Amino acid sequence: MSEAQTESLDLSEKGLKDGQPTSLDRRLFMKFTAFTGCTDATAAGAALAAVGVEGAMYLDANDPQGIGLVAMNEDPDYFVTTLRKVFNAPPFATLTHKPEFDMLGRTYSIGYEPDLEDSLFIKPRSKTLNPANAWAVWYPLQRAKSFQTLPDAKQRQILGEHGTLAKRFGFAGLAADVRLACHGLDKNDNDFIIGLLGPNLFPLSAVVQQMRKTEQTSQYLDSLGPFFVGKVAWQTPA
């Protein structure tokens, strides 16, 4: 590849501020990992805090010995160095890994965000680490490939319907959402990871229920889940 071709390949995140295009060649990576066999969640949280993991750990509502952890870092090397060492040391080394819940994603921009730093870093962190968001539902989704063949205007219309619903729950203080892209990062070829976070569990279920009626979910999704449902047992201070 020539130098000119290399220079023309711009992979930065794009935004729009005061009518002017902006860009930022940074993003936040977030990884979800689940285990079972945990009888002392306090010890697990202490081990995470001891090495400065940034994230949240949840008690699995569907597994009496289950926990789930979402960790975040701008450098993906973190997950195969520091976090890998944590998972290979006590107490995690004695737990049973649940690979069906493995999720690795990255924050992304749509192209009209006025503040890319806020969209890519501040909001995902603040939502995940907000102590008021005691409950969480994390899941992957695979969009139907036919969605990519739709005209851009139609795609925006479909996504706008989804976004409006999320904003209604957000403005009401019932649910916050974290959206991550996982193209090429997911063993099952999922496209996105969604985190629904809130003070109570029922509104998170209601979000999923109402989204079933949207055009995207009813016509342009191939799969959703598996769903991890949990309550916060440990969080990095926001």
Q: Is residue 21 part of a domain?
A: no
**pLDDT of 5-51, one tens digit each?**
556 899 999 999 999 999 999 999 999 999 999 999 999 999 999 99
Residue 167 lies in a domain: yes
What pLDDT is recorded for position 109?
Answer: 94
Residue with tokens 């999922």: 190
Residue 16 located in a structural domain: no
Rounded to whole angstroms, how far apart are CA atoms 23 and 13?
Answer: 5
Residues whose CB is less than 8 angstroms from the CB of residue 108 and which lie 6 or more positions away in sequence, other chains included: 13, 27, 120, 179, 180, 181
Burial of 177 (0-12, 13-18, 19+ CB in 10 A): buried
**Residue 160 within a domain:** yes
* Domain contains 4: no
With CA atoms as reference, report the closest residue to 73 among 52, 92, 58: 52
CA distance linking residue 223 with residue 47, whole number of Å: 35
pLDDT at 31: 98
Task: Residue 137: give its domain's CATH number.
Answer: 3.30.70.1030
Question: Model confidence at 174, in pLDDT bands (50, 70, 90)?
Answer: very high
Residue ranges making up the domain that contains 131 = 29-235
Total count of domains within the chain: 1
pLDDT per position as a tens digit, 110-150: 888 999 999 999 999 999 999 999 999 999 999 877 777 77
The verdict on residue 19 lying in a domain is no
Residue 22 lies in a domain: no
Is the model's pLDDT at 192 over the cut of 70? yes
